[in-house]
Structure 1
Amino acid sequence: MSVPVAGPVLVAGSGLLGTSVGLALRRAGVEVQLDDVDASVLAAAVARGAGLPRKESSPDPTLVVIAVPPGAAGQAMADACRFANATVTDVTSVKALPMEQARAAGADPQRLVGGHPLAGRELSGPGAARLDLFDDRVWVICPGDGADPARVDAVVDLVVTCGGVPLRMSPLEHDRAVALTSHAPQVMASLLAARLLDADPEAVAVSGQALKDMTRIAQSDPILWQAILRANAGSVAEVLTALADDLSEVIEDLRAGEAAGATAGALTRGVAGRQRVPGKHGSAADAYDVVAVVVADRPGQLASLFVAAGDLDVNLEDVRIDHVLGKPSGLIELSVRPDVSARLCDGLRQRGFDVRN
């Protein structure tokens, strides 16, 4: 049974994740010490209420959270072991290399427990931090070889205190998994978004929701992602090589004017693969009906739509918003269970909404 983490907790690094950890811990009443090499970043995190700056006179932390880029994480974890009784964890998105570097730099393997919250934003810095960033989000825990079970429990307590859901993996398992599910998608999104730089304005003007969905994460910090990809280069290269092989086969098909061979196979396998992505609460992905509604782009319109759905006793499983080109209105796509979609359409029309189904 997890218990609230015992403080004080030192968060080293006051960017998006570090500040969010501090905010989540302060929400639970945990004493938080903050540290950052950039005084202005540290001051911003303190101003957000994520904790107080660590001083020489501050008591030693019981737990240290390293929230720095992957390239600096190993040495930072080793440095944190100067606190003789502290458990040391991190929030970097790569595990094997930083932990190996930490051990090589003298970190105590018994106190070293890697961590990676699967939460983030396209924005960076303490100003983008949220105290609920980790709520109900998976937080992978990767104990190093020889980690003390009591230290692992302490990190579990940290995760639960921050609102996360702990999931245990080995560092190598973690890095192979995120290469496929996070790091390669970032590269693909960036490559696709970069093609827009040379596109005609007219072509960009007809961008659909598919392009927006696929390139959303291309807004992420390039410098941070260079560090992430460098730290997990081997695993990411394996995924991208396999994708390149698949893409080459599709290109050969299309240049031959065909779409029945490798292209058809890729599309079919893509449908099956997408269905493996977990749905609500980690369960198998559900099939939903989409109810499309056009609303005016002004305050209160979305709220009234959601209230109407609630009055009709319909739960909205997902919502997508697409702005109408050249008009002050938006197309709202409401994902609902198939057995309630007709009732929602009828009820919204009766309430004067412009339903496009």
Structure 2
Amino acid sequence: MSDGLVGPVEVVGVGLLGTSVALACRRAGLDVLLTDVSADHVRTASALGAGRPRVEGDRPQLVVVAVPPDHLGAAIAQALRDSDAVVTDVGSVKTGPLAAVAGEPGVRRYVGGHPMAGSERSGPLAATADLFEGRPWAVAPHPDADPDGVALVEQLAELCAAVVVRLSPEDHDRAVARTSHVPHLLASLAAGRLADAPADYLKLSGQGVRDVTRVAGGSPELYGQIVAANSAAVVELLAEVRVGLDAMISALTDADRARLWELLERGVDGTRAIPGKHGGPVRPTASVFVSVPDEPGVLARLFAAAGESDVNIEDVHIDHDLGREVGLVELLVDETRAEHLLASLESRGWVTHR
């Protein structure tokens, strides 16, 4: 393996992630072999230029397993038996698949991986070679993993233009429980309180409730598999959340404003702990709100006006008027530039406020 990643690369499971990996490898000039229980998926991915079906006699250097979570352990084990290749995966949980293959003779060739990228769409037609660009890609080798195999998997991540983050399988699962799995479950619980709400209540829905519940719209079947596979880390963290929820209930019941403030302040601390743009420190921002008509091209004109004002937009949110075809665009900018942007947009005829 001293020559690095030269291929062929076999992708087992050509859905969104698998086909995206295949497209990135083809872009780099590697031979890519495609395997899937669905012949239609293989034909579609092949037609997209993602590779070719694997045939007898092919000897992959690296196998990337990209199947649903419930089938991950079995598919990794089969890949280890079928060749002498290094085997990695793109699954959301790392300790479960490792436990499933721990007794395999070739387990040293297995190196867990998890690209932190995705889409609301699924299947090979949703795939793109750019899906992983600039995104974290966790590489989670077990203690007995072959160092050359670890290097090969990291080369795959870099070839896909991702940013490698090295973690142990256990630390990976604790990390995704905290940053992804539990937040998704809490969003689902919050969204569930809306399902049977009276229509008049829902008319008060704003950007806040959309922000909190957005991820709850994902596939229950897929996400159920993911969190079930990481149940130990998820349950441990949910127990901590339950303690916090009980404390908040008590603070409200007892009218303990000081305790309530402490709990809310802890939430503020958490938002500040999330890395800022490009992984750097969080920079203070301010919001500028702009009323815009709901019509083609209006956002392009607004962003162009902000650019002409020499102000960089750090983030953007859009809320919609219930009774009119009007939207309220929230532009988050460096707090030292907010007043300048307000004045500049108003001078160009935009309706703004802070």
Q: Deviations over 1:306-343 (max 9, x none)?
A: 11112222111111111122211211111111222222
Q: Secondary structure at the match of 2:152?
A: helix
Task: Structure 1: give runs of 5+ residues left out of the alignment.
Answer: none
1:3 to partner: Cα distance = 9.1
CA distance in 2: counterparts of 1:197 and 1:3, whole angstroms:
56
Do structure 1's residue 294 and structure 2's residue 284 form an aligned pair?
Answer: no
CA distance in 2, matches of 1:206, 1:287: 29
Does the aligned pair in 2 maintain the 1:66–1:73 contact within 8 Å?
yes
Partner of 2:179: 181
1:47-196 paired onto structure 2 within 5 Å: 47-57=47-57, 59-104=58-103, 106=104, 108-196=106-194
Q: Tell me if 1:353 matches 2:350.
A: yes
Mapping 1:311-330, distance limit 5 Å: 311-330=308-327
CA distance in 2, matches of 1:249, 1:175: 27
Tell me the CA shift for residue 55 of structure 1: 2.6
1:241-280 to 2 correspondences below 5 Å: 241-256=239-254, 258-280=255-277
Q: Retained in 2: the 8 A contact 1:3–1:157?
A: no
> Aligned residues: percent identity?
46
Say whether the 8 Å CA contact 1:110–1:146 is kept in structure 2.
Answer: yes
Alpha carbons 1:7, 1:63 under 8 Å: kept:
yes
Q: Note the C-alpha offset of 1:261.
A: 4.4
Instruction: Tell me the distance in 1 between the aligned counterparts of 2:188 and 2:43.
Output: 32
180-189 or 37-46, larger mean C-alpha shift: 37-46
Are the counterparts in 2 of residues 312 and 347 from structure 1 also a CA contact under 8 Å?
yes
Alignment gaps of 5+ in structure 2? none
Shift of the 185–83 alpha-carbon distance from structure 1 to 2, 3 Å rule, reads same
The answer to whether residue 334 in structure 2 is matched with residue 337 in structure 1 is: yes
Shift of 1:173: 0.6
Distance 1:176 1:342 in 2: 42
Task: Give the CA deviation at 1:166.
Answer: 0.3
- Distance change >3 Å, CA 239–CA 324, structure 1 → 2: same
Give the counterpart of 1:200 among 193, 198, 209.
198
Deviation at 1:71, TM superposition (A): 2.3
C-alpha distance after superposition, 1:44-76 (max 9, x if no partner): 33344332222335x211111111122211121
User: Which amino acid in 2 is paired with 1:176?
Assistant: R
| Deviations 1:15-40 (CA, angstroms, capped at 9, x unpaired) | 22112212222232322222111233
Q: Distance in 1 between matches of 2:207 and 2:180?
A: 20
Alignment partner of 1:240 out of 238, 241, 248: 238
Which residue of 2 is the match for residue 20 of structure 1?
20
Separation in structure 2 between the aligned mates of residue 261 and residue 13 of structure 1, nearest angstrom: 53
The answer to whether the 8 Å contact 2:94/2:112 transfers is: yes
Task: State TM-score, norm by structure 2.
Answer: 0.94
Q: Aligned pair in 2 of structure 1 residues 40, 343: CA closer, same or farther (>3 Å)?
A: same
Distance in 2 (CA, whole Å) between partners of 1:22 and 1:259 is 56
- In the TM superposition, residue 186 of structure 1 has moved relative to its aligned partner by 1.1
Seen in structure 2, the aligned counterparts of structure 1 residues 109 and 293 have a Cα distance that, compared at 3 Å, is: same
Q: How far apart, in 2, do the equivalents of 1:132 and 1:103 lie?
A: 33
Root-mean-square deviation (CA), in Å? Answer: 1.8
1:306 counterpart = 2:303: yes
Q: Compared with structure 1, are the counterparts of its residues 212 and 8 closer, same or farther at alpha carbon in structure 2 (3 Å cutoff)? A: same
| CA–CA distance in structure 2, aligned partners of residues 3 and 199 of structure 1 | 61
81-90 or 331-340, larger mean C-alpha shift: 81-90
Structure 1 length-normalised TM = 0.94
| Number of residue-to-residue matches in the alignment | 353
Distance across 2 between alignment mates of 1:307 and 1:231: 46
Distance between the aligned counterparts of 1:42 and 1:225, measured in 2? 24
Residues 1:3 and 1:37: Cα distance change in structure 2 (over 3 Å):
same
Change over 3 Å in CA distance of 1:198–1:215 after alignment to 2 = same
